[in-house]
Amino acid sequence: MSSPQLPNYLRANRKRLALSQRDVAFLLGVQSGAKASRYEHFARVPSLGTALAYEVIFKRSVSELFGGLYQKAEREVAARAKALADRVSVRRNAVQTARRRAALQSLVIS
């Protein structure tokens, strides 16, 4: 299993590009750098639209920018996929059931 990550890497990417929080706020279409600060300091989780805007600005995938949040979601989905796979019963269409089980198994973390 990989090491735990920070919830996000926004500050590091902003610094890499020598942008101020005010610059990033402008690019995000928000009024002040305070909002960018709240995202960087893990006080707020951005909307999907804002996360995608960060992807455009920093040229990094959302899962890379929000590594810790991604890992948390991955663990939660894996646990639910395992629980659902355990409940899947064989029905009339065995081929469809096999595909369903394979899809769920692919989500489970080893």
Whether 71 and 5 have beta carbons less than 8 Å apart is answered as: yes
Tens digits of pLDDT across the chain (110 residues): 567 788 999 999 999 999 999 999 999 999 899 999 999 999 999 999 999 999 999 999 999 999 999 999 999 999 999 998 888 765 667 788 888 888 988 998 76
Instruction: Using alpha carbons, select from 64, 75, 48 the residue that is nearest to residue 10.
Output: 64
CA–CA separation, 62 vs 58, rounded Å? 10
Instruction: Using alpha carbons, select from 109, 92, 73, 87 the residue that is nearest to residue 101.
Output: 87
Show Cβ contacts of residue 55 under 8 Å, excluding neighbours closer than 6 positions. 61, 62, 65
Can you give the pTM of this predicted structure? Answer: 0.82
pLDDT of residue 8: 94
pLDDT of residue 100: 86
Let me know if domain 10-65 sits in CATH 1.10.260.40. yes
